[in-house]
């Protein structure tokens, strides 16, 4: 029997947010109890486990206070969780990723320029670049490249790259460059290929790829 969800869009966003947050226990492993406890600890409201179950199954949506608490726990924007508007990322993830990504893009842009390339950045409101998560454009040796730069993140002691799903489903997928900062202002650059992505794990809006010591480091721009 097929069950028709009363709130299918909210259900999908909630599932996506839970999958993308490494702190949330898996389904059938205490997830409902954990969520209810976390909301209570924040003093927003005191939902029952049954209420949380209904949220997670798309039967009902949380009221305002509970929605705020749930969004805070999952680290997503409350407007996005409730209505599908706003940013998907958590506040701390958004700030951290934005800061790290901006620095990483500037490093890669500098390397491209030092290698003889011409660099341009997407203009604000450029829909194609926003949809495909393009970080910069590079023109070199008669070729034009659309590039997405992904800085590494430390997740529970493992270096990973969070690659937006949009990069993979585009009609013209950008080249993906992962950058891992080291000590003494040094960096490792990697060309993240489709084979590497296939070995990754889907986490909500991202494919998470763990840095493999056997990966070949780039010795120059796109080399």
Domain limits of the chain? 8-83, 91-210
Checking if the pLDDT of 95 tops 60, the result is no
Beta strand ranges found along the chain (DSSP E): 118-120, 136-140, 143-151, 153-155, 158-164, 175-181, 187-191, 201-203, 206-210
pLDDT single digits (tens) 19-76: 777 778 888 889 999 999 989 888 778 999 999 999 998 899 999 989 988 988 887 8
Q: Tell me the whole-structure pTM to 2 decimals.
A: 0.59
Q: Provide the token pair at 177.
A: 């460059």
What's the confidence (pLDDT) of residue 174?
93
- DSSP conformation class of 175: E
Residue 126 half-sphere exposure, CB side, CA atoms within 13 Å? 13
> What is the assigned CATH class of domain 8-83?
mainly alpha
pLDDT at residue 223 tops 90 = no
**Residue 91: predicted pLDDT:** 44
Q: 91-210: which CATH topology?
A: Trna Endonuclease; Chain: A, domain 1 (3.40.1350)
Residue entry with tokens 């949330």? 24
With b for 16 or more beta-carbon neighbours within 10 A and e for fewer, the 37-66 pattern comes to bbbeeeebbebeeebbbbbbebeebbeeeb
**Model pLDDT for residues 131-165, shown as the tens digit of each residue:** 888 999 999 989 999 999 999 988 778 899 999 88
SS3 189: strand
């Amino acid at each position: 029997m097929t069950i028709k969800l009363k709130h299918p869009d909210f259900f999908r966003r909630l599932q996506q947010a839970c999958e993308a947050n490494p702190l949330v226990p898996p389904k059938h492993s205490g997830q409902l109890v954990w969520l209810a406890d976390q909301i209570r600890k924040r003093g927003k409201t005191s939902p029952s486990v049954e209420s949380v179950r209904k949220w997670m199954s798309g039967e009902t949506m949380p009221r305002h206070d509970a929605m705020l608490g749930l969004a805070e726990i999952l680290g997503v924007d409350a407007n996005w969780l409730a209505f599908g508007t706003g940013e998907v990322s958590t506040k701390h993830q958004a700030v951290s990723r934005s800061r790290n990504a901006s620095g990483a893009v500037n490093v890669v842009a500098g390397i491209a320029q030092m290698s003889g390339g011409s660099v341009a950045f997407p203009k604000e409101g450029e829909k194609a670049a926003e949809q495909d998560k393009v970080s910069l454009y590079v023109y070199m040796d008669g070729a034009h490249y659309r590039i997405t730069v992904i800085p590494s993140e430390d997740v529970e002691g493992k270096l990973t790259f969070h690659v937006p799903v949009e990069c993979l489903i585009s009609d013209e997928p950008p080249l993906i460059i992962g950058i891992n900062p080291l000590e003494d202002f040094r960096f490792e650059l990697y060309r993240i290929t489709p084979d590497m992505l296939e070995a990754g794990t889907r986490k909500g809006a991202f494919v998470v790829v763990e840095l493999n010591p056997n990966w070949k480091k780039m010795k120059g721009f796109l080399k």
